[in-house]
Amino acid sequence: MMNFYKYQGTGNDFVMIDNREGTFPKDNEKLIAHLCDRRFGIGADGLILLENDSQYDFRMVYYNSDGRQSTMCGNGGRCVVAFAKQLGVIERETLFIAIDGEHRATIEGDNYVHLQMKNVTSVEEHQGYVFLNTGSPHHVQWVDDVETVDVKPEGAAIRYGTLYADKGGSNVNFVSKKDGSFKVRTYERGVEDETYSCGTGVTAVAIALYHTKQTKAQTITLHTRGGDLQVSFDRVAEEYKNIYLSGSAQFVFEGVIK
């Protein structure tokens, strides 16, 4: 038997497991995919293990819903901070380690989490799109209206296309501007579908918007299907530093895996 906890951050949902005793079968891709299955399992975009680490408050280990360990997940990072608080591992501030390095975070009020993301050292501008890595690789595609985009097939075509074949594919974000605000829809690699929001994705979008001079703001609110997320950053020479992803991270329910 094993306890699990369900969390969501702007609709991006995760199965959380306290693995500080190291009992979870981490190499069992079929089990992880089964737990994330929305019809035959618990249902989630991914699974996150919270583990002990001698140098940090905890270690975050993230798996996509296909059962494979993956690159950094921003919304998952915010949710694991809220989970760590629920477990009593942290109080209001934390320094934890993930696959892309260390992350600082603070939590306030009703589980509103500010998560520091990795620095971005390179932004590739192309005709109609931008590519950058915010802990995970992201293609940012400019469109007239995200509501008219058929995200799953169009995202898959880019994700599996020749553009990123040598990178193992990319996450794909579609972005449009309306009435002075920006809407984002994301196709996530490893989920292989649209998710209600993507933390590393909106982080990539915010930096891409600034880099291409579509906004002068260095604190930007992005609208996703699951709600609003805020991204702030500093431009230092050609790099982007002090990047923070902020938004709600909510506990949904808990249960037991038998």
Binding-site residue ranges: 12, 64, 74-75, 171, 188-189, 199-200
Annotated binding-site residue numbers for substrate: 12, 64, 74-75, 171, 188-189, 199-200
Q: Given the residues 15, 60, 73, 172, select the one marked as catalytic.
A: 73
* 104 beta partners: 95
What's the rounded Cα separation, in Å, for the pair 222 and 34? 32
> Per residue in 67-76, is it b (16+ CB within 10 Å) or e — as a string?
bebbbbbbbb
Query: For residues 210 and 79, is the Cβ–Cβ distance under 8 A?
Result: no
Q: Given the residues 32, 60, 81, 198, select the one marked as catalytic.
A: 198
Packed helices 199-211 and 74-87: angle between N→C axes, nearest 10 degrees: 130
Q: E strands of the chain, at which residues?
A: 2-9, 12-18, 46-51, 59-64, 93-98, 101-108, 112-116, 123-126, 129-133, 137-142, 171-178, 181-188, 193-195, 219-224, 227-236, 239-248, 250-257
Q: Is position 79 annotated as part of the catalytic site?
A: no
Q: Is position 36 annotated as part of the catalytic site?
A: no
Which positions are catalytic? 73, 198
